[in-house]
Structure 1
Amino acid sequence: MTDIDGLLAAYDERMRGVPPDLPRGVTTERDGLLTRLTGQFRGFVSGPPDLGVRGAALDALIARQCAVFAARGEAVEWKTHGHDLPEELPERLRAAGFVPEERETVLIGRAREMAGEPVLAEGVTLRQVTDDADMRRIAAMETAVWGDDHGWLADDLTARVAAAPDRIAVLVAEAGGEVVSAGWLVLQAGTGFASLWGGSTLPAWRGRGVYRALVAARATLAVAHGADLLQVDASDASAPILRRLGFHAVTTTTPYVWTPGGG
């Protein structure tokens, strides 16, 4: 029987500190137990499972983050988890003008159970990419899938590959010269974890096993690099697929976004 509490404890202990291998220009700052990142496409703040403050002190902590990013003219994402304390945090964030985005499920699985030769639909190929031109093709695909501008993603992926080429692997699924899906593996040094990101697929190519193939290919890379556990923040569309592959839900995560001027 899977030890869900043990997986969650490992996630909290190993995956919620300062991210390793930050791209050039991205800096980290601390405010109490909170970690703040600046210098990327939008700011980011996160903390441990218990921030250690309540009430007025929590409001003051939130207000300080808004002040920092207002001065920078940048939006900021505050990453929350369903099991975090204080329980009043989401309510306090909304009161300060933060807007919740889609809730996702944090899933964890054993890399060796997901690894294997990808099974590809006819006409689909997978390859690992590093060139800026391919990153821009990925961003264009993401823009088409989600209907908003994902141009920032090309610069973000290029910067991450430049900062730590041995810690990130970006894969594209192509058919007829078109990027139909993409996903990337991020190896978390010294944690035993690797995380899966991306996985968006053009509507015409859904239901053909492309997403599963990307998971298998990235899991194989994770095992080759010594990672035992895979972690995914999964949408409602992806979570059932991942559960069938052997991933286990350990908590939820909801990003709360604050934008200067409320825009």
Structure 2
Amino acid sequence: MRTDDVRDLYDRAMREHARPEGPGVEVERAGPLVRQVGGPDDWNGIVWSDPELNAEGADAAIRAQIGHYTALGHGEFEWKLYSHDRPADLGDRLRAAGFAPEPPETLLVAPVEALTSLPGAGLPEGVVLRPVTDAAGAELMALAHERAFGTDAGRLRHQVLTRLERAPDDFVALVAMADGEPVSSARMELYPGTAFAGLWGGGTVAEWRGRGLYRALVAHRAAVAAERGYRYLQVDATDMSAPILTRLGFTALGTTTPYVYRPAG
């Protein structure tokens, strides 16, 4: 896999020509930027900036986006900054404008075919995978997420229910069940017309970590992606999951840092 070529393909297909993450949101071209705009429970933010963006243009674009999202009344929005974006000091300019950086993630990609038959990817004894197809499944998924990460899953619950209602064919969600309890969950976004499928989630409750659930969920989703004709799996990986995914065969294309703007008051 030629890293530079795949990064260029990713930038064109997934950022410059991004599709809405889900029903009820829109992707708009705003001068040198591409942004997603939705409701307060949707992800709102900048997904791409022109590689030729200079310092003066960056400052103007930042001011324009603050004005745009503030006028919509959103409590926050995000500028998704990649390590190869320009100008080189764009992160400094975002901070100066009031954006707060959150922990960076590693952009990882792997060929689907390399992940469909991972060694040791079987489910642990006593664990079954339940496809999430209804509200009850979404509730189990949210519960697994909250137990794994210790954070509120309200936004996840909203996103899963919306996807199931309006665009179920481009979305795969799973809950791993043990003794009737959700112990892990994961989802996959399919992006029709591109070579990419995106992996999200993969959180496992503490007592079930280290037993191969993460690997099993990756392999299962890779098999589904292969059946649907996708070439690559993509992940925005945390520091916790990046080493695991690298061992499974993923390659880093760079990093991405969420810069979040929250209006004062």
Structure 2 portions without partners, runs of 5+: none
Instruction: Name the SS for the 1:194 alignment partner.
Output: strand
Alpha-carbon distance, 1:91 to partner: 0.5
Separation of aligned partners in 1, 2:73 and 2:146? 24
Aligned to 1:96: 97
Q: State how 1:1-263 maps to structure 2 within 5 Å.
A: 2-20=1-19, 22-40=21-39, 41=41, 42-48=43-49, 50=51, 52-74=52-74, 75-116=76-117, 118-261=121-264
Contact 1:127/1:171, CA 8 A, preserved across alignment: yes
Contact 1:116/1:217, CA 8 A, preserved across alignment: no
Separation of aligned partners in 1, 2:254 and 2:229? 25
Instruction: Name the SS for the 2:28 alignment partner.
Output: strand
Alpha-carbon distance, 1:22 to partner: 4.6
Alpha-carbon distance, 1:49 to partner: 5.7
Give the paired residue count: 260
Alpha-carbon distance, 1:55 to partner: 2.6
Separation of aligned partners in 1, 2:28 and 2:102? 24
Cα deviation per residue 1:40-99 (whole Å; 9 max; x = unaligned)?
A: 42412121461x332333222111111122222211011111111111110011111111
Alpha-carbon distance, 1:247 to partner: 0.9
TM-score by length of 1: 0.92
With 241-250 and 10-19 compared, the bigger mean Cα shift is at: 10-19
Alpha-carbon distance, 1:17 to partner: 3.1
Contact 2:32/2:61, CA 8 A, preserved across alignment: no
Inter-CA distance 21–31: structure 2 relative to 1 (3 Å threshold) = closer
Separation of aligned partners in 1, 2:17 and 2:2? 26
Contact 2:19/2:27, CA 8 A, preserved across alignment: no
Contact 2:148/2:184, CA 8 A, preserved across alignment: no
Q: Percent identity?
A: 44
Contact 2:141/2:174, CA 8 A, preserved across alignment: no
Inter-CA distance 5–102: structure 2 relative to 1 (3 Å threshold) = same
Separation of aligned partners in 1, 2:50 and 2:242? 23
Contact 1:23/1:162, CA 8 A, preserved across alignment: no
TM-score by length of 2: 0.91
Instruction: Name the SS for the 2:125 alignment partner.
Output: coil
Alpha-carbon distance, 1:193 to partner: 1.3
Cα deviation per residue 1:144-175 (whole Å; 9 max; x = unaligned)?
A: 33333221111111212333221111111111
The two structures, once aligned, show a CA RMSD in angstroms of: 1.8
Contact 1:20/1:189, CA 8 A, preserved across alignment: no
Contact 1:171/1:183, CA 8 A, preserved across alignment: yes
